[in-house]
Amino acid sequence: MKKFTNPLESSTRIKINNWLTNLSWNIDEDSPDCNCYTERARTVSENKKFKGNRPDYVLYSSDKKPLAIIEAKRQGKTLQTTLNETIKKYATPLGVKIVFITDGLFIQAYHTEDNDYLYYNSEIVTEFLSEKKLRLFSDGGSKIFSEKKVVHSKIELIRIFQEANDILRKDGLSEGRERFTEFSNLLFLKLISDIEDQREEKGEARRLDKIYCWETYSNKPSQELQTYINKIVLPRFDQEYNHTSDIFNKRLLINKADNLKKIVASISKIGNLLDTNSDIKGDAFEYFLKNSISVGNDLGEYFSPRHIVKLMVELLDLKFNETVYDPCCGTGGFLIEAFKNIKNKCKHTPENLETLENNTVFGREISTTSRIAKMNMIIIGDGHNNIEQKDSLEFPVKGKYDVVLTNYAFSQKTDYSSYYGFDTADANIIFIKHIYDSLNNDGRCAMVVPEGVLFESSKEHTRIRKLLIEEANVEAVIRLHSSVFKPYTGQPTSIVIFNKGEKTKKVWFFDVEEDGFKKTSSKKGRRKIEADDLVLLRQIWKEKKVTNKSFFVDLKAIQKNEYRLSMNNYVKRNKQEVTIPLRELVQDKKIIIGFTPPRDDDSFWFGGKNIWVSIKDLGDDMFISNSQEKITNIAERKGKLLPVGTLLFSFKLSIGKVAITKKPLYTNEAIAGLIVHDEIIKKYLYYILPKLDYNTNRATKGNTLNTDTVGDLEIPFEYSKAKKIVAMLDKIEAERQKTIEHKEKLEIKKDTIIFSNVLMDESKEED
C-alpha cells in the first residue's frame, strides 16, 4: 500500500476555488466584477470589523452586499469549533447570515440568525451555493422550499405517472418495467428537448435539430403523432444514443394512438421539466417502482434514499480522474451523485469534461432498469456508454476501479460463486467478493449490506468477513435504523467502508438512530424531522471521535469474535460492573434542565449580570467564568438559576461536554445542571461523563437522551474507586492546564513578533 502525505489547507482552497468558479462566482480579485474575496473584506471599513482576523472567503451579492463567509477548518479543530469561531469573528461583525465551514471533505452551511443548518426541500445543504440560492436563504431563513411551480411540478409529475400507468395498463402493457420504460422514454424525449432549448438560450450550438424535439410534434393529431415519433424521432434517438445497447425501442410499445396522445398532452402541461430538480424527477420515477410488482418483488430492487447516497459519496472524498463503479446501479443514483460531486470540485476545461463524461462512472444493472440509468446519465451530462445491462456476478472484474459505491440487491441467489472461489448460492457473500476484486490495490468502497452478513456464523460468511479484515482496512461500520429503506424493506442494514491493500487495525462503529426523517412505513414517504445523527457523523468523521454514538473495536477483539462486524456484537454489557442512575448522585435527586429565552425579549440577552450558556459555549476548559457574551438579568425562572460549582452536562447534539461553573448562570434546554455537594462525586462525573461507552451513554430504554431520561443514565460508580480515579486524574488535569497555559503564552509571543515586525510595518506604509 502506498503511503501518501496528508493534504494541507491549500488543497482545500483549490477545491473551494473550483467549486465557486463552477457556480459562477468571480474569484478574480483584480476584476471589477469580483464578488469573492479571500482573507479580507471588500472595503477597508468592512475589513476593520474583523479586528485583524482574516476570513478565508467573503462572498458578495451583485449589489456589493456581503452574503456569506466560507472558512476552511484548521488541523486539530472540529467543524463545530470552527463554526463557532467563524460566527464570532466574521459573520456577526459583518452582519452576514450565512456561514460555510469545510474540512475539504464535508461542507456545513449554517444560518446565524436562525441558529440552524440550511435545508433545501427538507434536505440538509452540504455544498456551496450560487448567489441566487444564497439570497433565498439570506432573505427567507434556514429552511427553503422550491418555488411553487417546482412543488407543483412534483405533484403533477406523480399525478401524471399515475394516470399514465392506468392508460398503459389499458393499452395492454405489462405491469412494472414495460410500462415504466415506455413512460420513461416519453419523459426523456421531453427532457432532452428542454435541454436543447436551454442550450440554445445560452448561445450554445444545438446537438439535436428542432425537428426531433418535443415542440415540433407534441401538438400533432393522435395518429400523426404516433407515426412521427415512430418514423422520425425514435430512429434519430436510436442513432444518437443506442451505441452499446438499446435505450430506446425502435418504435413505441403503445398500440393505440389516442392513448399516446393523452400521455403526451399530460407531459406537455407541466412545462419545462428543467425547472424540476433531479430529486423531484426521482420522486416521480420512484412512484412507478413502488407500484411495480416485478420490480418490487421479483428482483429485490429498491431505491437508496438520496440523503444516504449523498452521505456515502461524501464519505469517500472522490477525486477527479478516479473511476467509480456500481455493480448494481439500478436507475443510477450513486453514479449520478458521484458524477455531480466530482464535477463540482474540478475545473470545467474541455479536457476535464471529456474525462468526466467518458472515463469516470461505470455501472452494471441486470434488468432493463439499466435503460433508465443511461437516460439519467445523459440528462446530467455523462456519456452513457459505461452503463451495461448484465449480471455483474457472471462477469468478474479484477483490479479495475478506484472506488465502488453500491447498495446491491439483497437476499438473491447466484450460480456463479465458483468464479470467486466460494461454494454458496448466497449472492450477498459473492457481491462483496465481486466488489473487493473489482477494486485496484489502493481502491476504496462504501457499500450498504444486510446486517446478517456482518454476524452470521456460517463458514462462508466468516470467510468473507475475514477477507475484508485481513486483506483490507475496514475503516467504519455505520449502522442504519430499520426505517431508512422503508417502505421497500425494514431489513436491518449497515454501511461498510473499507480501503483495499492494508490490514485492519481497528474498526470505528457509528450508530444512526435518527437520519433526519420520520420513522414510518407509509408509501407517501418519510417527512423531515429535526433529529439527525448524520450531522454529528459528518462533524466527527475525519477524527473518528468516540461519542455516545460511536466507538472503536480493535483487531484482536474482532478476530476472537469470528470477524463479526455487527455493531450489536460489541456493545458492552458488563454485568459485573456496579452502576447507579445519575439522579441518585445529585442533590435531592433533581436534575435541572435549562430553558431557551424568547428571541424577541432583549432583556434575556443584553445588559444583565448572569451568564447565558449554550452548547457552543462549553469549551474544553474545566471552568466557565464570567464573559461578555449572551448575558441576562432575568431571575424569575425559579429553580433555573444555577449556583456556583454546578456541573453542566450537555445531553443533546454535543452530548458529553461538561463544565463546572464559577458564576451563577442560566443554560438552554440542551444542558443539564447537576448540583453535587460531594467534591469527589462532582469531579468523578466531570471526568467520566464525556468518556462513557456506547451502551452506558444512552438512556436505559435504549433511546437517545432527552429531558425525561437524563436521570436514568447509568453511571459506573463505587465511591472508593471513584476517589482513587479522581486523585489520579486531578494530577493529569493540572499538567494539562499548565500545557495549555504554556501554549497560549507561546502563541502570544508568536503573534507579538508577527505584529511588531510585519503588520506594524505594513500599517506604517499605509499611513
Is the model's pLDDT at 258 over the cut of 60? yes
Give the tens place of pLDDT for each residue, 632-671.
333 445 567 888 889 988 876 566 788 888 878 778 787 8
Partnered with residue 401 across adjacent β-strands are 439
Element (H, E) at 693: none
CB atoms near residue 71 (< 10 Å): 21
More confident: 608 or 536: 536
Per residue, what are the HEC states of 125-193? CCCCCCHHHHHHHHHHCCEECCCHHHHHHHHHHHHHHHHHHHHHHHCCCCCCHHHHHHHHHHHHHHHHH
- What is the rounded average pLDDT of the residues 504-515? 94
| Residues 119 and 125 sit within 8 Å (Cβ to Cβ) | yes
Q: Each residue of 446-456: pLDDT tens digit?
A: 999 988 899 88
Q: Are 437 and 396 in contact (CB under 8 A)?
A: yes
pLDDT (tens digit, 9 = 90+) per residue, 349-370?
A: 989 988 998 899 999 998 877 8
572, 695 in Cβ contact below 8 A? yes
User: What is the distance between the alpha carbons of residues 381 and 100, in angstroms, rounded to a whole number?
Assistant: 28
Q: Cα(593)–Cα(646) distance, rounded to whole angstroms?
A: 12
Angle at 33 between CA 30 and CA 37, to 5 degrees: 60
Q: In the prediction, which pLDDT does 178 show?
A: 75
Q: Which of 337-341, 495-499, 507-511, 759-763 has the lowest mean pLDDT?
A: 759-763
Confidence of residue 193 (pLDDT cuts 50, 70, 90): confident
* 631 Cβ contact partners less than 8 Å away, ≥ 6 residues apart: 605, 606, 607, 608, 609, 610, 611, 612
**pLDDT recorded at residue 75:** 60
Q: Residue 325's beta-bridge partner residues?
A: 362, 404
pLDDT recorded at residue 195 = 82
The residue behind cell 424577541 is 600
Closest CA to 52 of 609, 728, 752: 752
* DSSP code for 638: T
| CATH 3.80.10.10 for the 327-570 domain, yes or no | no
528-558 pLDDT, tens digit per residue, is: 788 899 999 998 898 898 888 999 999 999 9
Phi first, then psi: give them for residue 739, nearest 5 degrees: -65, -40
387: Cα separation from own chain's centroid: 25
Residue 419: phi and psi, rounded to 5, are -65, -20
CATH class of 9-144: alpha beta
pLDDT(277) > 90: no
| Residue 579: pLDDT over 50 | yes
Please check the confidence at residue 229 and state whether its pLDDT lies above 90: yes
Sequence letter at residue 751: D
* Out of 231-240, 379-388, 390-399, 466-475, least confident range: 379-388
Task: Identify the pLDDT of residue 186.
Answer: 86
Please choose, from the candidates 595, 602, 630, 632, the residue with its C-alpha nearest in 3D space to the C-alpha of residue 616.
Answer: 630
- Crossing angle of helices 719-754/679-688, nearest 10°? 60
The set of cell numbers assigned to 520 is: 414510518
Q: How confident is the model at residue 701 (pLDDT cuts 50, 70, 90)?
A: very low
**Backbone angles phi and psi of 230, in degrees to 5:** -70, -35
pLDDT value, residue 719:
86
Instruction: For residue 144, give the amino acid letter.
Output: I
Asked whether residue 697 carries a pLDDT value surpassing 60, the answer given is no
Higher pLDDT, 659 or 709: 659
pLDDT at 702 over 50: no
According to CATH, the superfamily of the domain at 579-717 is DNA methylase specificity domains (3.90.220.20)
Q: Which residues of 110-148 are buried (b: 16+ CB within 10 A; e: fewer)?
A: bbbeeeebbbbebbbbbbbbebebbbbbbeeebbbebee
Give helix 459-471 / helix 427-438 axis angle, nearest 10°. Answer: 20
Please give the pLDDT value at position 725: 92
Contacts of 164 (CB under 8 A, 6+ apart): 179, 183, 263, 266
Looking at residue 274, the DSSP 8-state letter turns out to be: G
Asked whether 520 and 526 are in contact (CB, 8 A), the reply is yes
In degrees to the nearest 10, what's the CA dihedral of 227, 230, 231, 232? 110
Residue 380 pLDDT grade (very low, low, confident, very high; cuts 50, 70, 90): confident
Which helix (H) or strand (E) segment holds residue 551: the answer is: strand 550-554
C-alpha span between 188 and 213 (Å, rounded): 11
Q: Give the C-alpha separation, 254 to 349, whole Å.
A: 42
CB 372 within 8 A of CB 331: yes
Q: What are phi and psi of 532, to 5 degrees?
A: -155, 100
497 against 619, higher pLDDT: 497
- The pLDDT confidence band at residue 223, using thresholds 50, 70 and 90, is very high
Neighbours of 584 (CB within 10 A): 10
Listed by start position, the domains of the chain span 9-144, 148-290, 327-570, 579-717, 719-767
pLDDT of residue 541: 92
The CA-atom distances, in angstroms, between 2 and each of 442, 500, 507, 547, 732 are 8, 11, 21, 31, 38
- Work out the mean pLDDT of the chain and round it to a whole number: 81
Q: Kindly indicate the confidence band of residue 271, based on its pLDDT and cuts at 50, 70 and 90.
A: low
* Greatest Cα pair distance in the chain: 92
The HSE-up count of residue 483 (CA atoms within 13 Å, CB side) is: 15
List, as one string, the DSSP characters of 206-224: PSS-GGGSHHHHTTS-HHH
**Beta bridge partners of residue 476, listed in sequence order:** 497, 508
Q: 11-15, 65-69, 721-725: which has the highest mean pLDDT?
A: 65-69
Lowest mean pLDDT among 81-85, 328-332, 382-386: 382-386
Cell, residue 399: 483490479
Residue 762 clears pLDDT 80, i.e. is over it:
no
User: With bands split at pLDDT 50, 70 and 90, how would you rate the model's confidence at 286?
Assistant: low
CB-facing half-sphere around the CA of 158: CA atoms within 13 A: 18
Q: What is the pLDDT of residue 416?
A: 94
Which CATH topology does 148-290 take?
A: Ferritin (1.20.1260)
Binned at pLDDT 50, 70 and 90, residue 58 comes out as very high
Encode 225-250: b = buried (16+ Cβ within 10 Å), e = exposed: bbebbbeebbeebbeebbeeeebbbe
Q: Which residues 6+ apart lie within 8 Å of 102 measured at CB?
A: 12, 15, 16, 70, 71, 72, 73, 108
Predicted pLDDT at 682:
92
Q: What is the pTM of this model?
A: 0.69
Specify the pLDDT at position 627.
39
Between 523 and 589, residue with greater pLDDT? 589
pLDDT, tens digit, for every residue of 112-131?
Answer: 999 999 998 778 899 999 99
Cα gap 150→504, rounded to integer Å: 47
pLDDT of residue 206 exceeding 60, the answer is: yes
